[in-house]
Amino acid sequence: MRGWISLPWGSDPAATGTLDEKAMAAICSIPVRLEVEWRVSEVQGLAGVRLALRAELVLSAVEVCVSMRAPGSGAERAPADDVRDNVRKVSLFPLGMRVPRNEQRVFAPIPRGHGFLRAIDDRGRPLSGNCELGPCGATRRTDMSFRTEVDVRAWVAPRISAVPGRHEFIVRGELTFVRGVSLALKARPDNGGGTAVIVVGPGTTLQAHERRLEGDGAAEAWVFAGFVDEWGHELSDPRLLGVHVLQ
């Protein structure tokens, strides 16, 4: 037999994939950077300005960390950092991945030279500080750094390795923005109105390319997995996917 074998207890229904795939999911907050470029123009006969606006959301890394342990006492528990063996990481979404937004031309009822923009979520809650729009005719740029909530999912499926005695898996994943990211264009003083420009809508999903992951180990290995960032900091608690056998 080769592949996953049954555990002595039920699996987590929320994280179950197919018979050949084991799934895991986590909702976490990740740091992002919103790069914005804009140019303000006057609009004859209207009380407001027009903006040529371009924005790109730059992601931090999301990786899957897989640890394989030989059977033994306590093997069913998530291993501590100092007892993990045969740890492998595979990148789902690399550091600096961009979610671009095509340039938009937006009219905003803002008096010339008396407005600002800031990042907000889909409920209108501020994500960043304010940045002045500036005078007409000049192109301006700014970076806004903040955190946003995402739903990350991954599926891990065993494959037959070309090298005898090695565990091999195919990992695929997706990332969904739980809260959207928009730009709010507001007049000063802020009277609660304004114009919102959606950068990433809530429910927007990014698909990760399939990745291959290999590891040495015993013929029978307890496989744990969790999400980490580019520095290896945990974004979710590691969980037991199952027992994988080579024989």
- pLDDT for res 114: 83
Q: How confident is the model at residue 177 (pLDDT cuts 50, 70, 90)?
A: very high
Q: pLDDT at position 4, please? A: 63
Q: Where are the beta strands (DSSP E) in 60-189?
A: 62-69, 87-93, 98-108, 115-120, 131-132, 139-159, 166-177, 181-187
Looking at the domain assignment, is residue 140 inside a domain? no
Does residue 154 contact residue 23 with C-beta atoms inside 8 Å? yes
In this structure, is residue 38 part of a structural domain? Answer: no
> Residue 242: its pLDDT value, please?
82
How many domains does one find in the chain? 1
Is residue 44's pLDDT more than 70? yes
Residue 221, pLDDT score: 78
Domain that holds residue 192: 3-28+60-96+116-126+149-245
Q: Residue 121 falls within a domain, yes or no? A: yes
Residue 110 lies in a domain: no
pLDDT beyond 90 at 54? yes
Closest to 198 in 3D by CA, of 127, 122, 140: 122
pLDDT digits (tens, 9 = 90+) for 23-41: 999 999 999 999 999 999 9
Q: Answer left, alpha or beta for residue 195, where phi above 0 means left and psi between -120 and 50 means alpha.
A: beta
Taking the model in full, what pTM does it have? 0.82
Residue 104 lies in a domain: no
The CA distances from residue 63 to 11, 30, 211, in Å, are: 23, 12, 11
| CA atoms of 214 and 247, how far apart (whole Å) | 16
In a domain, 50, yes or no: no
Residue 197 lies in a domain: yes
Average pLDDT estimate for 47-51 = 86
- Sheet harboring 49-59: ordered strands across? 98-108, 49-59, 22-42, 139-159, 166-177, 205-216
3-state helix, strand, coil in the chain (%, to 5): 0, 60, 40
| 102 found inside a domain | no
Annotate 151-178 with DSSP letters as a single string: EEEEEEEEE--SSTTEEEEEEEEEEEES
